[in-house]
Amino acid sequence: MPDNKARKPMEHHNIGDFLKGQSSKILTAIADADKTAYVLKNGKPIVVVMSNERYERLLKAGIDINDY
């Protein structure tokens, strides 16, 4: 049965922020908080970024996102 818990919306960052030299700051904040985030271009998601710890937990749980 599906989990009916309300989901928090994912954090999002505009690609322009990465072009303004904020890449390290943004990626470190995502990794330190163990979060996932969208990167937007022209207001539309183009990529999802997640912490390595979260990715490792997915792999350990048998979920390889590269299979999807």
Contacts of 13 (CB under 8 A, 6+ apart): 26, 37, 38, 39, 40
Residue 22 lies in a domain: yes
Residue 4 lies in a domain: no
Per-residue pLDDT, averaged over 42-64, amounts to 95
Q: Which structural domain range is residue 36 located in?
A: 11-67
Residue 18 lies in a domain: yes
pLDDT in tens, 2-47: 566 777 788 999 999 998 989 999 999 999 999 999 999 999 999 9
Please tell me the total count of domains within the chain.
1
Q: Are 39 and 13 in contact (CB under 8 A)?
A: yes
Residue 30 lies in a domain: yes
pTM: 0.77
Our CA angle for 7, 49, 31, nearest 5°, is: 90
Provide the pLDDT for residue 65: 87
Question: What's the CATH code of the domain at 45?
Answer: 3.40.1620.10
The continuous run of DSSP H or E covering 11 comes out as strand 11-14
The secondary structure of residue 37, as a DSSP letter, is: E
